[in-house]
Amino acid sequence: MWEKIERVDRRVIYILVLILVSLPLWFPIGLPIPVAKETTAYFNTIEALPSTSVVIFSYDYGPSAAPELQPMAEAGLFHAKSLGLRSVLVCFWATGAPLAVNAAKKVYGDAFPNVPEYGQDVAGGIVAIGFIPGGAIGMSSFASDVWATIGVDHFGTAFTALPLMSRVRRATDFGVFVDWMAGTPGAIQAIMYMHGPYGVKVGTGSTAVGVPEAMPYYTAGQLFGILAGLAGAAEYESLVHAYGWAPTLLAPMDAQSLGHVLIIIFVVIGNLGYAASKLKRGG
């Protein structure tokens, strides 16, 4: 029997995963979402910023990572706006620009960028710079001289016509740099080109795959916080809920938890089957 279980058809696993993951989206269970210390550290750092600070949000991901990163990117922008912070949206991935605009539309309304805060140095002021080519080289250039790197925003408006940009000229002007990252360039490059040379505080919301890579930087104090994948986004949403943000990830986190339970069960069964067949063979 154990040998049969060990050789279970992979499609059986797919069907079970599909059933267990899709059911909670229909019928949410409401499992608790405890908040990790990395998420709390991120939230507290943003909370502690002076109200006139400029937060640079870097949307370094594409549609494939959007299910994990878009919810935290939207909640992060909403959090900054609620605190009266100024936000500058930038991306070093070409695919990130429309996702940044989508996040801004979710927070500022569908009229974005035709909103009173756009380009203004006021509470909740915002500018969408858009895509900067060059990858890590572009990021380094952006840190050393923003205006020399690019002089127009995503919509073609010159920085000279955007009062908020007059306060954003080099990395030392950034309150914090937040990188929603799915790879390279991402938060690790931001640490190399912003935290290292200029002492900018760097935080990240990462895909779950990138968290093991980012964690040593958090331990070393080079990252002020990490939102770890969909779970981190759900935790952060629960914290930002205090400002009126409607959590979107309660049911998905139920689905995530059930999916994990199933994988754990299969890992255990697979190993038991392996051990049993090995014993049978006298190994």
Partner 1 sequence: MLEEIAPYLGIVFGAFLTLFVYTILWKENPLSRAAEHLFIGLAAAYITGYVYDAAMKVAVLTPGRLAEGNIVWLLPILIGFMYLFFFTKKYFWLYRFPVACVAGIGAGLVIVGNIQSNFVAQIAANVRLPLLGSQIGVAWFPLDNIIIILGVLTVLSFFFFTFEQKGPLGISARIGRYVMMAAFGSAYGFTVMARISLLIGRLRYLYETSEAGFYAYYLIPVVIVLMLIVAYWERTRKPSAALPPPTPAPAAAPPPEAPPAEEVPRKRKKTS
Residues found near partner 1 in the complex (CB under 8 A): 9, 11-12, 14-15, 17-19, 21-22, 25, 64, 66-68, 94-95, 97, 130-133, 136-137, 140, 149-152, 156, 158-160, 188-189, 191-193, 195-197, 207-209, 211-212, 216, 219-222, 228-231, 252, 255-256, 259-260, 263
Residue 139 Cβ, how far from partner 1 at the closest point, in Å?
9
Q: Residue 41 or 263: which CB sits closer to partner 1? A: 263
Q: Residue 18 or 268: which CB sits closer to partner 1? A: 18
Count Cα atoms within 13 angstroms, Cβ side, for 263. 8
Amino acid at 263: I
Residue at token pair 């006139």: 52
User: 111-134 burial, b for 16+ CB within 10 Å, e for fewer?
Assistant: ebbebebbbbbeebbbbbbbbbee
Q: Residue 14 or 243: which CB sits closer to partner 1? A: 14
Residue 154 Cβ, how far from partner 1 at the closest point, in Å?
9
Of 147, 178, 156, 148, nearest to 54 (Cα)? 178
Residue 39 Cβ, how far from partner 1 at the closest point, in Å?
15
Q: Residue 44 or 160: which CB sits closer to partner 1? A: 160
Residue 276 Cβ, how far from partner 1 at the closest point, in Å?
22
In angstroms, the Cα distances linking 233 to 89, 96, 107, 241, 259 are 19, 18, 16, 12, 17
Pair of tokens at residue 219: 């331990």
Q: Residue 67 or 116: which CB sits closer to partner 1? A: 67
Residue 152 Cβ, how far from partner 1 at the closest point, in Å?
5
Strand 86-91 to strand 176-181: parallel, antiparallel, or no bridges (unpaired)? unpaired
Residue 14 Cβ, how far from partner 1 at the closest point, in Å?
5
Asked if 149 and 110 touch (Cβ cutoff 8 Å), the reply is no
Q: CA 187, CA 190: separation in Å to the nearest integer?
A: 5
Q: Residue 87 or 189: which CB sits closer to partner 1? A: 189
Pair of tokens at residue 41: 């550290």
